[in-house]
Amino acid sequence: MKLLVVSTPLGPLGSGLGGGVEITLNSLVAGLLDRGHSITVLAAEGSSLGPSCQRAELWLRSGRPQLSSQHADREADVVMPADGLLPQFWRAVLEQASSGRFEAVVNLAYDWLPFWLTPTLALPVFHLVSMGSVNAAMDGVIAQVAAWDQRRLAFHTATQAADFDLPGPPVVVGNGFDLDAYGLCLEPDALLGWVGRVAPEKGLEDAAAAAMQLGRRLAVWGLVEDRAYAAAVEASVPAGTLDWRGFLATDQLQAELGRCQALLNTPKWNEAYGNVVVEAMACGVPVVAYRRGGPGELVQPGLNGWLVEPDDTTALAEAVCRVDGIDRRRCRAWVEQEASRAVFAERLEGWIERGLQICR
């Protein structure tokens, strides 16, 4: 297949501004290239693709970043900057609609415009939905596409898909990771870890509270989106509890993350998947997570971590005390079976090919 993959308009690939979509895009592109498909990526100016994606063509566009739906009020109107990346991306897609260069578009952006355009385009558009329900306008336009042709939609987890009004069972593709980029660490340090964008919906304060209860140090990796929030979290625990390590590329992150005894995952909203959960497991790190969103499907209690009830920091701390009973090799084995790049690419290929058979 000849596919045009449209990136997130939140910022350049490689900046961390796109969150988990950046990991998903690189895995999707590399996996489909490995299966013999031709891939072009449409992304923000300043973007770079990972080493395994260099056979893909990269088209760049400039413009103002789109505001994230995740940070909008639930009933907020759709807002698009006139000189924004989002309209630039989809102007480029429209220009290719009758060119014959591509067989399909794969959209990774969680934005209203591409979903709304889908029934009107001659070029088939497939959406890998990257978030759960956060905004009424997005819920509505996803439901409209589902009612028109649900085969155009795929989700990371069944839990995520359950957020939306779908007429039939969802296509669930999970996510994928280049496991060669993650080393298995069997001898961790006495260190807890937390990875994510530092913003209120990610719940860092709960991980900090659990670390404080245990008298343990918590390493924090991720882009600080809300500095006031970060400062408030740090002020809520004794000095030295939090070890701020910043946003790191995968090779650096996995080397440090693998040294953790456990990863704490404490989102305050329904994560669609939970990339950092799988990245930790790929290094052999058990995960202690809230039974909420995608991580509730990924963590298999007693096998690769433990689940506790959401927002219960005492239960979170108690579960950390049980991670030594988990074989770190089994954490890695679960990822190899369920979330490798090859497995992900095969699922994606099947989804798109089935959809194209109908379109033809």
Instruction: Please write the tens of the pLDDT for every residue from 201-229.
Output: 899 999 999 999 999 999 999 989 899 99
Q: Coil, strand, or helix at residue 161?
A: helix
Q: Write out pLDDT tens, residues 286-325.
A: 999 999 999 999 999 999 999 999 999 999 999 999 999 9
Query: Beta-carbon neighbour count of residue 134 at 10 Å?
Result: 19
Give the per-residue pLDDT at 319: 97
Residue 19, pLDDT above cutoff 90 = no
Contact 161, 306 (CB under 8 A): no
Q: Write out pLDDT tens, residues 115-137.
A: 999 999 999 999 999 999 999 99
Residue 48, pLDDT above cutoff 70 = yes
Give the per-residue pLDDT at 115: 98
Pick the CATH number of 2-176+340-359 from 1.10.3720.10, 3.40.50.2000, 3.40.50.300, 1.10.490.130: 3.40.50.2000
CATH 3.40.50.2000 at 179-338, yes or no? yes
Give the per-residue pLDDT at 359: 62
Q: How confident is the model at residue 169 (pLDDT cuts 50, 70, 90)?
A: very high
Q: Which two tokens stand for residue 63?
A: 């413009």
Mean pLDDT calculated for residue range 167-196: 95
Percent of the chain as helix, strand, coil, to the nearest 5: 40, 15, 40
What is the residue-averaged pLDDT of the chain?
Answer: 94
Q: Which two tokens stand for residue 356?
A: 């194209």
Contact 192, 262 (CB under 8 A): yes
Q: How confident is the model at residue 97 (pLDDT cuts 50, 70, 90)?
A: confident
Per-residue buried b or exposed e for 186-209, using 16+ beta carbons within 10 Å of the residue's own CB: eebeebbbbbbbbbbbbbbbbbbb
Mean pLDDT calculated for residue range 76-100: 92
Cα–Cα distance measured from residue 159 to residue 132, given in angstroms and rounded to the nearest whole number:
9
**Fold match between domain 2-176+340-359 and domain 179-338:** yes
Give the per-residue pLDDT at 250: 85
What pTM was estimated for this model as a whole? 0.89
> Which of 277, 251, 242, 250 shows the shortest CA–CA distance to 262?
277
Parse the chain into domains and list their residue ranges: 2-176+340-359, 179-338
